[in-house]
Amino acid sequence: MGTKKRRKQATVGFIALGCPKNIVDSEKMLAQIAQAGFLITAEPENADVVVINTCGFIAPAKAEALDTIAHIVRCKAAGSVKKVIVAGCLPQRLGRELFKQADGIDALLGLSYRDDIAAIIAGTLRSGGRRTAYLSPPSSKISDDTARLLITPAHTAYLRISEGCDHKCSFCTIPAIKGRFRSKPPEAVLTEALELTRSGVVELNIIAQDSACYGRDLKITNGLSKLARQLEKIESLKWLRLMYMYPAGVTSQLIDTIAESEKIVHYIDLPVQHINNKILKDMRRAGTEQAISRLIEKLKKSISDIVLRTTVIVGFPGETDEQFNQLLQFIKWAEFDALGAFEYYPEPGTPAAEMPGQLPGDLKRQRLEELMLTQQKIAFEKNEKRLGGKLSCLVDSMDKQRKGTGRFYGQAPDIDSICIIENCRAARGQFIDVNVIGTKEYDLLCRKISS
């Protein structure tokens, strides 16, 4: 009797681009790809199929995605890749137009088809030269984010509590891409959190388009505060971090919840975008200079060791020198621990793109540089004040020379600075006490305290 020849398993290369919300989608797709029996390779340039999960929020993200697609398409032309699938926000935003902008794509996968990725890979492998687009309007459903294959370190994970956005910011494409705001039911969030912590996760980072809005569509008052109090009851959870909270949604009860908790870290990500009232109004942002300033004062008074992160946009249409200087003075006053700044990009389809007073690129770049130098001075001075102090660090990595990297509670994964730790003998995911012995630009140089 002859033996049946075993079919070779197709290899899949996966490239994840974009924000933490995209990471969650990538982790879900990777799990489904693995469960379907495909072999996931760390070398996408030599895979049978490459899946690129893209971001399409602003021009730099689109450019990064198109550059990545072009690179993989060149690999396909050279024969080392057979099929190219582009998923995520960029195909959701551009639709079949993306076929024209990046020739060589075999399939487009919109956000609503995330959970069909394994079947779509199989179909694409059988499709010959036919291109296929799996696209539909933004979904009104809530995705099940359980059973993910984490691409973050095993001890830290993102926990998405809602999808979509109902804010009408004039510069933003997210509502058009992601659809209406919709909260995950609390029980679904808790189920996912338990699954993650049982797998060894000790740090959960709450993410959403606006975490402070959690529960409003479910008629839950103080939804984020109530959810956080439930999550902190998980015994093995050590750190709970609240990300992406619009200032207008940060209530007194939420501040009290953070202040009283032993697990919710004293770190708030508070995107203000600007401080001038006219610019805020043109941006269609809720809140005013007075309200934002009062909130920052209240946070610092209520939580003495609070670490504040924000995001701002420079060069919004019509921004005058005086309005930009007002933003600079506000940053000097607020003394944010961390700040992300972006030039304004006129995104097609947004109201701001049609506004008069669009500023030239060189002026926007000049303002961005001035703002970041202002923030750099603040950040460096804050680091200097930590010299000689003691911190509790979560270890993220360690090399053979016992030099580790980690973070104290005021450093979110991926976006903030890190602690570089000498004499680190701890495994990833462990907490250790360190002394701050120096600084290296934005990072802290630390030494493990001998036990």
Give me the pLDDT at residue 140, please.
86
| Burial zone of 448 (CB within 10 Å; 0-12 exposed, 13-18 middle, 19+ buried) | buried
Other CB atoms closer than 10 Å to residue 346's CB: what's the count?
15
pLDDT the model gives residue 7: 58
Q: Specify the CATH class of 11-134 in words.
A: alpha beta
Helix or strand (DSSP H, E) at 109: strand 107-109
Give residue 2's pLDDT: 47
Q: Estimate the crossing angle of helix 252-260 against helix 289-302, to 10 degrees.
A: 20
d(CA 284, CA 30): 37
Angle between helices 289-302 and 321-334 (to 10 degrees): 10
Taking the C-alpha atoms of residue 360 and residue 354, their distance in angstroms, rounded to an integer, is: 15
Q: How far apart are CA 271 and CA 56, in angstroms?
A: 19
Per the listing, tokens 């010959």 go with 128
**Is 49 in a helix, a strand, or coil?**
strand
pLDDT tens for each residue of 313-352: 999 999 999 999 999 999 999 999 999 999 999 999 999 9
Question: Which amino acid is located at 201 in the chain?
Answer: V
How many Cβ atoms sit within 10 Å of the Cβ of residue 129? 5
Pull the structure tokens for residue 339: 């700040």
In angstroms, the CA 275 to CA 290 distance is 9
What pLDDT shows up at residue 402? 78
pLDDT of residue 1: 43
Is 390-448 CATH 3.30.43.10?
Answer: no
Residue 77, number of CB atoms within 10 A of its CB: 11
Q: What is the C-alpha to C-alpha distance for residues 426 and 337, in angstroms, rounded to an integer? A: 27
CA distance 18 to 177: 14
Phi, psi of 235 (to 5 degrees): -60, -45
Domain extent listing, the chain: 11-134, 156-386, 390-448
Q: How far apart are CA 259 and CA 74, in angstroms?
A: 53
Distance CA 92, CA 137 (A): 8
Q: What's the rounded Cα separation, in Å, for the pair 2 and 33?
A: 32
Cα atoms in the 13 Å half-sphere on the side-chain side of 287: 23
C-alpha dihedral (189, 191, 197, 202), degrees to nearest 10: 20
pLDDT in tens, 173-218: 999 999 999 999 999 999 999 999 999 999 999 999 999 999 999 9
Eight-class DSSP state of 310: E
Q: 354-366 b/e with 16+ CB inside 10 Å = b?
A: eeeebbeeeebee
Report d(CA 63, CA 57) in Å as an integer.
Answer: 11
Q: Could you tell me which residues come within 8 angstroms of residue 83 by beta carbon, excluding any fewer than 6 positions away?
A: 48, 49, 50, 76, 106, 107, 121, 124, 125, 127
pLDDT averaged over consecutive 10-residue blocks of the chain (451 residues)? 60 95 96 97 96 91 95 97 97 95 95 96 92 92 94 97 95 93 97 98 97 96 97 97 96 97 96 98 96 98 97 98 98 98 95 97 98 98 97 92 91 96 91 96 94 67
Residue 352: the pLDDT is 97
Instruction: State which fold the 156-386 domain adopts.
Output: pyruvate-formate lyase- activating enzyme (3.80.30)
